[in-house]
Structure 1
């Protein structure tokens, strides 16, 4: 897979928005939403819920910063971010199944269910905006 891929202006704008969202989300994991994010950690995870929230916040910030600044590895970072979204999805499912409220807005089964449908959107967003799909397709030619 070629490391650097040209992206459109629209992809760049959406990549920057996603990166800023990830940095903000990571920061919120470490500060003002720390307790709220603990509700998403499934009970079967064999680590402290607080540790999982802290580590995931650090990963989110690192991925967001990398997506903004590490141009030569942007496609690989897109794949890493997509994988991260897949790995945290069981937490969202557990939150729905266990009926755990969070963030004020996730206070009903309906709201928690709707949220589950946004995870694939985030995965596609990461792959498209980073040029990861294009890089993968180009590598197959």
Structure 2
């Protein structure tokens, strides 16, 4: 039961983080998030930030509220989001765009290693527990 409680807490924390980030996309951090949108995205940067913010809020809510039978799917979709936005982190690094305190090449480079952690977190906190006998 302890593992389930840890996974639940991790899932809720990740969901709350996504909801907070999504709200930031729509309000107080809109401009900084635009710094992460690669130039090759065919949408306006602001539109991309708004749409991704809405997705983050929806996925964050799903991580917190989804019934147990859907948690694995929500985790995989959340991991997919983290993979899909990774080019934005690369773009921020390669174009030397400062945002969110990432104002040096070293900080922007180190940020790249956090994305796989988010992918793992989404998958691990939502996967079905293995039944042991």
Q: What range is the shorter-chain TM-score in? A: over 0.9
Instruction: Extract unaligned runs of 5+ from structure 1.
Output: 1-6
Mapping of residues 21-36 of structure 1, within 5 Å: 21-36=17-32
2:85 to 73, 84, 88: 88
Deviations 1:57-98 (A, max 9, x none): 000000000111111311100000000000000000010000
* Counterpart residue number, 2:106: 110
- Find runs of 4+ consecutive structure 1 residues off by over 6 angstroms: none
Instruction: Extract unaligned runs of 5+ from structure 2.
Output: none
- Ranked by relative contact order (alpha carbons within 8 Å, sequence separation 6 or more), the top structure is 1
SS in 2 for 1:8: helix
SS in 1 for 2:85: helix
1:19 to 3, 9, 15: 15
Shift of 1:115: 0.4
Number of residues paired by the alignment?
Answer: 128
CA RMSD, Structure 1 to Structure 2 (Å): 1.4
Deviations 1:16-72 (A, max 9, x none): 100000000000000000000000000111110000000000000000001111113
* Counterpart residue number, 1:62: 58
CA distance in 2, matches of 1:86, 1:18: 15
CA distance in 2, matches of 1:126, 1:60: 13
CA distance in 2, matches of 1:8, 1:46: 42
